[in-house]
Chain A
Amino acid sequence: MNDKKQTIQEQGSGAIPAPILQVNDLVVGYGAIEVLHGVSIDVREGELVSICGVNGAGKSTLLKSVAGVLKPRSGSIRFKGNEVGGKKPENLHKHGISLVPEGREIFPSLTVGENLRIGAFGRYDAKRYEADLADYFELFPILKERYNQAGGLLSGGEQQMLAIARGLISRPDLLMLDEPSLGLSPTMVDLIFELIRTLKARGITILLVEQNARRALEIADRAYLFSNGRIEYSGMSDELAESIDITSVYLGGNNGGEIL
């Protein structure tokens, strides 16, 4: 099976700085099952890179491997030039990798404030923390309102905002979002994508895993389309959006004969 992997030339000239995240030929599995069969992506500083594809294509697995939750079987993960594959999640967090997990995974019995406080555990600076909090209260007013309420009492959308804020509060160098729109109402989804757009505008480097390919491609700079643990397509998101039959990828079709 051919990988119809297309890398499209970067526009513009000049030396291109090394990507902040470089994944090469990553192979990851669970027990007897191999999920990623040699995946290579990179993310440059300030970019918003999106990873799309159907359920089970391996997108979350990729994020989890970068975050240290899963150990790769082979291949390399380089962050800021250092090899980080297989390192512990808490150490990677210190290096500046922050994952907002699929399903939010906020701590239900901890208050909003406590959830946020944990988010900064590995990289805490009191003054910065206070300043950041004030900032996030503007971005996510709901957090200020519910600061002392248990996380479990928040609605899905509010939890997602909390999870994102929690992921940001450590001022990571790379923010990874795993299916942020999953299970949310359409209004909420709009809000979340607006939020992501705002974050990108602030220069935060984002790696976004998102099943909703259309919306993801709208805001991303570049995108990779996953299928069955491999990359099927990659390139600038606007070009991808135009040329690829989105529904076919969305529904997992690799029927051959797709136009590019």
Chain B
Amino acid sequence: MKRNNTADENTLAAASLGSRPYFNFSSKWSTVVLLVAILSGIGVFIWWLNIPFIEDIFTSSVITLISVLGFQLYMGNSGILNWSYVGYVGIGAFASAIFSMEPSLKAMQIPIMYPFLQKLHLPFIPAVLAGALVAMIIAAVVAWPLMRLSDAVGSITQFALLIVINVLLSQWAEVTNGPRTFTLGGSRQTTIWVALGFAILVITFVYYFKESSLGMKLRTSRDDRYAARSSGINFVKVRYQGYVTSAFIGGLAGGLYSHYILSITAGSFYMSELFKLLSMVVIGGSMSVSGAFFGALIVTLAQQGLRQLELGLTRSGFEAYGMSEIVVAILMILFLILRPNGVTGGRELSLEALRNLFRPKQYTNNNGNKK
């Protein structure tokens, strides 16, 4: 049985139930700093380039990154793939839009909207946060009975939940304009800086969630449910907390997205989106925050590159739409077969890791022989 925690970490998790502080600001800060630095570096560079189309791609990629991080938070720590996740992204998207849009605009676009929804009006950032909160509350209400389920039944239940959310989002005309597009109008409020700012916060949060006692309890439950129970960890409750937290971040990403793209439909938060997130965690590595980060980076670059190829081919008369997804899907399968823990293999980016990368390993034992 491959254990992803060392024995020490397992003991730590158990020990942390009383004595350790809730957050452990240990020397692993370098991961967060490095990831934030890379992201900000790219961001500043792209802003300096001043090419709107590239800036747009970057902004939307950062929003996707936030989404993937929320996904990874639950999946990496609990070992459970949350098939309903993009549903919460969608809920956040619609909810935040309803909060932030001017009532008169809403009345014009969706005349049948419920009055209490129509009257709501919040500034941009509070609206996004409120949208995330709505997603989290819905997760909190719906998910409790589902946390106990495991394996096949659990996965299929989550998937069924996704379908329910999708149908509701696409049919509940009084809330979401039904199958028609929900247009936010106005100007794009999720600028590159807003997206970056939130991304930095989320990277930090997700990383420290992983290092927190809750994160460790989740991982212990993942690795051995019974050992966890005997250490006093209630794996259902711990999963629940992780799931709900993950839903919050998903809702957050959704809110930022809707204020970026300015018109949304339920279909954007369904299978294609789920597939995109899956490919990112599989290729990057689901076990670590850096995995989610680099997965997002790799897949985004691949998709953009392939899309350029698609456009080029289409221009020369060859209908190539959809090719990028095929390539990514094949990549995903290959990774699952050959390197299931992704590019990062469960490890985090850190100063230590970088040092090891650039310095050749030399271990000698007392006899002077190479180990």
Report A's interface with B, CB cutoff 8 A: 30-33
Contact = CB atoms under 8 A, between A and B. Distances in A.
A51 to B, nearest CB: 24
B2 interface: yes
Contacts of B3: 32
B96 to A, nearest CB: 45
Contacts of A30: 1
Interface of B: 1-3
A35 to B, nearest CB: 12
7 contacts: A30-B1, A31-B1, A31-B2, A32-B1, A32-B2, A32-B3, A33-B1
Nearest to A33: B1
A30 B1 CA distance: 6
Nearest to A32: B2
Contacts of B2: 31-32
A33 B7 CA distance: 14
A33 B2 CA distance: 9
Contacts of B1: 30-33
A177 to B, nearest CB: 27
- In the A-B complex, list the 7 residue pairs whose CB atoms are closest, starting with the nearest: A31-B1, A31-B2, A30-B1, A32-B2, A32-B1, A32-B3, A33-B1
Nearest to B1: A31
Contacts of A32: 1-3
A155 to B, nearest CB: 29
A33 B1 CA distance: 8
A34 to B, nearest CB: 13
Nearest to B3: A32
Contacts of A31: 1-2
A32 to B, nearest CB: 7
A28 to B, nearest CB: 15
A159 B1 CA distance: 30
Contacts of A33: 1
Nearest to A30: B1
B5 to A, nearest CB: 12
A69 B269 CA distance: 44
A33 B3 CA distance: 11
Nearest to B2: A31
A164 to B, nearest CB: 31
B79 to A, nearest CB: 16
B2 to A, nearest CB: 5
A56 to B, nearest CB: 15
A30 B3 CA distance: 12
B140 to A, nearest CB: 37
A13 to B, nearest CB: 50
B229 to A, nearest CB: 22
A49 to B, nearest CB: 31
